[in-house]
Structure 1
Amino acid sequence: MTEYFLQAFIYLVAAVITVPIAKRLGLGSVLGYLIAGVVIGPVTGLVGAETNTIQHFAEFGVVMMLFLVGLELEPKVLWEMRNRLIGLGGLQVSITTVAIGAIALALGQVWSVSLAIGLIFALSSTAIVLQTFSEKGVSKTEGAQNAFSVLLFQDIAVIPMLAFIPLLALPELVEAAQALAQSADHHESMSLVAGLPGWAYALVIIGAIIGLVVGGHFLTRPLLTFVASSGLREIFTATALMLVVGIAALMSLVGLSPALGTFLAGVVLANSEFRHELESNIEPFKGLLLGLFFITVGAGINFGILSDNLWAILGLTLGVMALKGVVLYFLARLFKISGSDRWLFTLSLAQAGEFGFVLLSFSVQNHVLPTELAQTLSLVVALSMLLTPALFILYDKVILPRFEDRSNEGQPDEIEEMGTVIIAGMGRFGQIVNRMLVGIGVNTVVLDYQAGQVDNLRKINTRAYFGDATKPDLLHTAGIAECELLVVAIDNQDAAVELVEYVKHTYPNVAVLARAFDRGHGYRLRQAGADVIQSETYCSALEIGTAAMRKLGCHPFVAEQQKNSFKRIDAEQSDILYKAWLADTEEGERFDTHYRDLFMQLEEQIKTAMNTDRVDRHSLSDRGWTPPPKGYTDALKDKED
């Protein structure tokens, strides 16, 4: 028992130390886990032979991850992505398998071994790619969505691969692998399909999938309702784990991929009212097991074999990644994935995947690959996964900035029509302003420096022009000298202040309305000369606060009056706080003790006003705010007549 505690402690210490450091350095958590595994495995030898056993257990993190992915995909969404799923994913697996298989054949491998190698390296790492997409916040980009389609097809393709690989067995390996064959027989005893003819095997598979879909749709809701009614969170967690473990076990018993089974279950439950509760219960286990899986990948690198064949293994690793990158880039162009998304798609899928370890072990057990070759190929898979975070760093630091610079340095559009109002920036804030003004018939000139945003706006018949509104020449072309208003809604705070300052100095008759990110930014805009300043969150926060008071039992009229009291006191004290901020700025400190004291006084005034002040001095009770009866106004008019 002590040994297990020590091993667990070693893994946890390695993760706790290396992952935060890797995140702080911008390397990502995945690379941190992989480095942790290398340190406690090949470098220091703190862990050893048990790594492979732990890795099989940790692979369950991939199963849980696909269950969570399925929960995010409604069947309708899955059907809508069928073209990318089958077309893009199918071509990637097919072309990569043929290309790598042909190179292996040219290097002297027999055709069956070459084909098996091609199938193994056609797969990419679902765990690393989706985890990194989530961390970097790019999951909704076009490149990430297409990469997800390919990964999903690859996970599904593992099923026919597992069925096909035994047909590639080499007769000369059978005698040398008797021990492995006996081990395989032992595992077959836990199978429901061992020894079945092909037609019966097909029926069992179809029955298992139908049972999974039907059971997930009709049986899980009553079960989860019953468990939830107990009010015991730990039992709901146990139920969520029971579903995932049970489905994985069923899929394994019928010879299917556990990851595919749990993915299908997640899709079935995507419309369930318990979806978010299932996610919150499974997520911690998924994250921990995935981290453990990445550590075992790093710890499993055999430096002995690596040092003996260093250049050959490095060459194979880089060759596989380069070949997959070429195929992916070609497909990205074929499917019209453009810009930085094309490179995100290409670089994110260039590695081999965790299912490669599964297929390699399966190939050895079924006498398709020699053990020595499988060990070398395992190193190639592990090293390619280890290098994947470096590809994401290349994308972030080198490729993405170049595309952003190219977008910014592009030639601005020729502005064909002038307007009464110029709107600089068409994000979520500028779009609402533009829609309101256009709605009442005001001609606007919309400028945005992101070409993709301009294209999207034009698709919905919103007239917009590409260009940097902070450049005087473009403002002149847009008609700043003749317009009445300039709305500043650009994301860069410093650029927004400089734009306001320039316009108020050069075109003093133009009214400037500016969006502020916070109080400090608002002060800077006011100092630059903006006529109207509105914090982007102020109004929405006021409305949410008022709604919260109503939900807590406050009478609607009282809640509205308290909101107005807050706005009035805040506006009255705005000049005082602004003058204090100006004094602080001149002295070199933006928010000194004097400013903070004034701000706290403001908070006390607001609290007092919201509890006592009423504009019409009516009663504080709800009755004093009861609206007049229906028809009261009409009755008054009749009396006047």
Structure 2
Amino acid sequence: MTGYFIQAFIFLFAAVVMVPLARRLGLGSVLGYLIAGVIIGPVTGLVGQETNIIQHFAEFGVVMMLFLVGLELQPRMLWEMRNKLLGLGGLQVGLTTLAVCGIAMALGVKWTMALAIGLIFSLSSTAIVLQTFNEKGLTKTEGGNSAFSVLLFQDIAVIPMLALMPLLALPELQATAVAGDDGAHGDLSLVADLPGWATALVVVATVAGLVLAGHFLSRPLFRYVADSGLRETFTATALMLVIGIAALMGLVGLSPALGTFLAGVVLANSEFRHELEANIEPFKGLLLGLFFITVGAGVNFTVLEANLGLVVGLTLGLMLLKVMVLLVLAVLFRVHYGNRWLFGLSLAQAGEFGFVLLGYAVSSYVLPEGLAQILAMVVALSMFLTPLLFIMLEKVIFPRYAQRDEAREPDAIDEQGSVIIAGIGRFGQIVNRLLVANGVKTIVLDHQASQVERLRAVNITSYYGDATRPDLLETAGIANARMLVVAIDDKTRAVELVSEVRRQFPHVQILARAYDRGHHYELQDAGADFTVSETYKSALNMGGEALQRLGIHPFRVEQVKQSFCEMESQHFDEMFQTWREEGNQTGDHYRSLFISLEKEILAAMQTDRSDRHSRSERGWTPPPKNYLDDFEEP
């Protein structure tokens, strides 16, 4: 027993030391786990043959990951992503598989083995890529969204890949395995002695039963457990479901990952979905980390040294091939400029599911053990090289495209309009669409070339150029324009633009978008005629909707929203002047005014104004008498 405790301590200590260090160095947690495994395994020899036994247990983390992936895959979300999911994801997996398979067959590899290798190498590392995107703020970029679609398709594609592997088994590998079998092992199976047609019926019945049980029996079970009020019972229930489904799939000869994934999809619309995720996530993270440590600890340096040139050559060739396929797809799907390289380089590595598929391919007699070890080296090395690709993106590629955009000459503006819109992001687009729909001629300027190209692709006329440049504004017709709408993202440049236009063209009305209250004051101080905080109206509407759903009458909701706006408006000038007097910052006097405003708003919210409508409320149909009696205060 003491030996097990010592081994557990070694694994956990290696993770605690290496993973935080790897993250600080920008390598990501997955590589931290891999490095920790390499150190305690082949480098220091602190762990040995027991690693293989632990790895079988740790693979259950992958099963849990697929269950959580299934929980996230609501049909509605998949339908909204269908173009990129099936287009980008499907083509990436298909083209990469065919390319790798073709090259392997050209080198003399049997087609079944070549196909298995192609499937394994078509996958990328979801853990590394998504974590790096989050750390570097790339998730919301065009390239990041495209990469996420591909990764999601790859995660789904693992399921049919696992199901396909046994069909690619080689008779000679099976014969060798049978010859070396001492008859001492044997997993439980319900279909081992059944004919093929009976096995198929059992499998179909099992999957159908799983779907029906998940749909009709899961809610009563979860309600029964939830009524106990014991969190640990719900945790036990979640683990029981995952383990039970995995065992059931094993009994009928299917992959445990397939069953848990299907169960996750079935439960995706359950009201207990978030509770399931919260309970399983810690176990999934710990077991996945343990899995990656065992992968690193299982690296065979003897195999690596004996095949160093081959492993390095295969790794670089694979990454180059995947980059070429991804860049072609980026062009076909109109991913722009630097985002193409982000999309291509971020997915160039092989993924963690490659280890799973390799182990499954060996156990299914698709690949020989020696070849699988070499391919595992390729997968691991490509993952080790991924942080270098992101460094190259940051240091070389992104600056080059930024310089290219800066060096690009502004577009020639050959028309003029009564309204100039500076900045055509999510805010400026709505303003522009509303004006154009009502016959107002607009001139749209934006300094991001990729944004301009995207708008032109949907027939929205826009021009590349920096709206803060006086010469460009004059070319756009600022001297004859009636209005300027400022919706650029840079707060400082927005204030400078308002100030410059107010000074040079006092007849132009300036409407500006503010990020927050402080930015609102700065724009007002610079001379904007009208300023609105981008989240103010949407937050007010959301608050009104929340009140209605809590039982407040819609008429009363409009009253309190109107009162809230009036109170804010009445105190704006006083607070603005205080902000000015305190050196354009929020000092003690400003804070005391804000506290007083909150108290007045609270008092105003308690007043029923049904007997004294303001002019702005006369468009509303008067409410019935005693309308508040039917609604309870929240």
CA deviation profile, 1:422-453 (whole Å, cap 9, x unmatched): 11112222233334444554332222233443
Aligned twin of 1:50: 50
User: Map of 1:56-67 to 2, 5 A cutoff?
Assistant: 56-67=56-67
Do structure 1's residue 507 and structure 2's residue 512 form an aligned pair?
no
Shift of 1:166: 4.0
Aligned twin of 2:185: 186
Aligned twin of 1:30: 30
The secondary structure found in structure 2 opposite 1:169 is helix
353 and 462 in structure 1: CA distance in 2 versus 1, 3 angstrom threshold: closer
Q: Whole-Å Cα distance in 1 between the matches of residues 190 and 390 of structure 2?
A: 42
Aligned twin of 2:626: none
Which one of the candidate residues 578, 581, 585 is aligned to 1:579?
A: 581
CA deviation profile, 1:398-420 (whole Å, cap 9, x unmatched): 33444455455545444343222
Aligned residues: 606
Aligned twin of 1:587: none
157 and 35 in structure 1: CA distance in 2 versus 1, 3 angstrom threshold: same
The secondary structure found in structure 1 opposite 2:293 is helix
Q: Whole-Å Cα distance in 1 between the matches of residues 610 and 509 of structure 2?
A: 39
Q: Whole-Å Cα distance in 2 between the matches of residues 9 and 174 of structure 1?
A: 35
Shift of 1:86: 5.0
Q: Whole-Å Cα distance in 2 between the matches of residues 521 and 251 of structure 1?
A: 58
Q: Whole-Å Cα distance in 2 between the matches of residues 537 and 347 of structure 1?
A: 35
Aligned twin of 2:265: 267
Shift of 1:159: 1.4
Q: Whole-Å Cα distance in 1 between the matches of residues 600 and 78 of structure 2?
A: 54
Aligned twin of 1:285: 283
Aligned twin of 2:590: 599
Shift of 1:534: 3.1
403 and 68 in structure 1: CA distance in 2 versus 1, 3 angstrom threshold: farther
Shift of 1:468: 2.7
Q: Whole-Å Cα distance in 2 between the matches of residues 631 and 324 of structure 1?
A: 63
User: Map of 1:23-172 to 2, 5 A cutoff?
Assistant: 23-75=23-75, 78=78, 80=82, 81-82=85-86, 86-103=90-107, 105=108, 117-118=117-118, 120-132=120-132, 136-138=138-140, 141-167=145-171, 169=173
CA deviation profile, 1:330-377 (whole Å, cap 9, x unmatched): 555566666445434433443333343344444545666554444333
CA deviation profile, 1:168-209 (whole Å, cap 9, x unmatched): 6275x458x71xx347x724x323332444333333333333
429 and 360 in structure 1: CA distance in 2 versus 1, 3 angstrom threshold: closer
Shift of 1:483: 0.9
Contact 2:120 2:354 in 1 (8 A): yes
CA deviation profile, 1:466-504 (whole Å, cap 9, x unmatched): 333223333222111111221211112232233233323
Contact 1:96 1:327 in 2 (8 A): no
Q: Whole-Å Cα distance in 2 between the matches of residues 159 and 475 of structure 1?
A: 62
Please list every run of 5 or more consecutive structure 1 residues that lacks an aligned counterpart in the other structure: 583-590, 615-619, 634-641
Q: Whole-Å Cα distance in 1 between the matches of residues 525 and 568 of structure 2?
A: 24
110 and 422 in structure 1: CA distance in 2 versus 1, 3 angstrom threshold: closer
Aligned twin of 1:533: 531
631 and 53 in structure 1: CA distance in 2 versus 1, 3 angstrom threshold: closer
Contact 1:30 1:389 in 2 (8 A): no
152 and 442 in structure 1: CA distance in 2 versus 1, 3 angstrom threshold: same
Contact 2:144 2:343 in 1 (8 A): no
User: Map of 1:336-347 to 2, 5 A cutoff?
Assistant: 339-347=337-345
Residue type of the partner of 2:66? L
Q: Whole-Å Cα distance in 1 between the matches of residues 308 and 493 of structure 2?
A: 51
Q: Whole-Å Cα distance in 1 between the matches of residues 573 and 169 of structure 2?
A: 74
123 and 192 in structure 1: CA distance in 2 versus 1, 3 angstrom threshold: farther
Shift of 1:456: 4.4
Which one of the candidate residues 215, 239, 242 is aligned to 2:213?
A: 215
Q: Whole-Å Cα distance in 2 between the matches of residues 535 and 114 of structure 1?
A: 58
Which one of the candidate residues 489, 496, 499 is aligned to 1:498?
A: 496
Shift of 1:283: 2.9
429 and 253 in structure 1: CA distance in 2 versus 1, 3 angstrom threshold: same
Between 1:545-554 and 1:15-24, the stretch displaced more is 545-554
Q: TM-score, normalised by structure 1?
A: 0.81
576 and 462 in structure 1: CA distance in 2 versus 1, 3 angstrom threshold: same
Q: Whole-Å Cα distance in 2 between the matches of residues 98 and 318 of structure 1?
A: 17
Contact 1:340 1:400 in 2 (8 A): yes
Which one of the candidate residues 362, 373, 379 is aligned to 1:375?
A: 373
Q: Whole-Å Cα distance in 1 between the matches of residues 349 and 412 of structure 2?
A: 44
Aligned twin of 2:429: 431
Contact 1:125 1:354 in 2 (8 A): yes
Identity across the alignment (%):
55
Residue type of the partner of 1:141? N
Aligned twin of 1:565: 567
401 and 198 in structure 1: CA distance in 2 versus 1, 3 angstrom threshold: farther
Contact 1:363 1:369 in 2 (8 A): yes
112 and 279 in structure 1: CA distance in 2 versus 1, 3 angstrom threshold: closer
Residue type of the partner of 1:596? G
User: Map of 1:204-603 to 2, 5 A cutoff?
Assistant: 204-330=202-328, 339-365=337-363, 369-407=367-405, 409-438=407-436, 440-458=438-456, 462-541=460-539, 556=557, 557=559, 560-561=562-563, 564-582=566-584, 595-603=586-594
Contact 1:515 1:534 in 2 (8 A): yes
45 and 373 in structure 1: CA distance in 2 versus 1, 3 angstrom threshold: same
443 and 325 in structure 1: CA distance in 2 versus 1, 3 angstrom threshold: closer
CA deviation profile, 1:271-302 (whole Å, cap 9, x unmatched): 33333333333333333333333333333333
26 and 602 in structure 1: CA distance in 2 versus 1, 3 angstrom threshold: farther
Shift of 1:160: 1.0
- Tell me the C-alpha RMSD between the 2 structures: 3.9
Shift of 1:213: 2.9
Q: Whole-Å Cα distance in 1 between the matches of residues 328 and 560 of structure 2?
A: 64
The secondary structure found in structure 2 opposite 1:271 is coil
Q: Whole-Å Cα distance in 2 between the matches of residues 461 and 428 of structure 1?
A: 16
Shift of 1:548: 6.8
57 and 604 in structure 1: CA distance in 2 versus 1, 3 angstrom threshold: same
Q: Whole-Å Cα distance in 2 between the matches of residues 504 and 46 of structure 1?
A: 72
Contact 2:420 2:483 in 1 (8 A): yes
Residue type of the partner of 1:296? T
Q: Whole-Å Cα distance in 2 between the matches of residues 74 and 627 of structure 1?
A: 48
Q: Whole-Å Cα distance in 1 between the matches of residues 582 and 431 of structure 2?
A: 31
Contact 2:26 2:387 in 1 (8 A): no
433 and 361 in structure 1: CA distance in 2 versus 1, 3 angstrom threshold: closer
Contact 1:90 1:153 in 2 (8 A): no
Shift of 1:162: 2.7
Q: Whole-Å Cα distance in 1 between the matches of residues 249 and 523 of structure 2?
A: 62
Contact 1:65 1:127 in 2 (8 A): no
Q: Whole-Å Cα distance in 2 between the matches of residues 541 and 114 of structure 1?
A: 56
The secondary structure found in structure 1 opposite 2:532 is strand
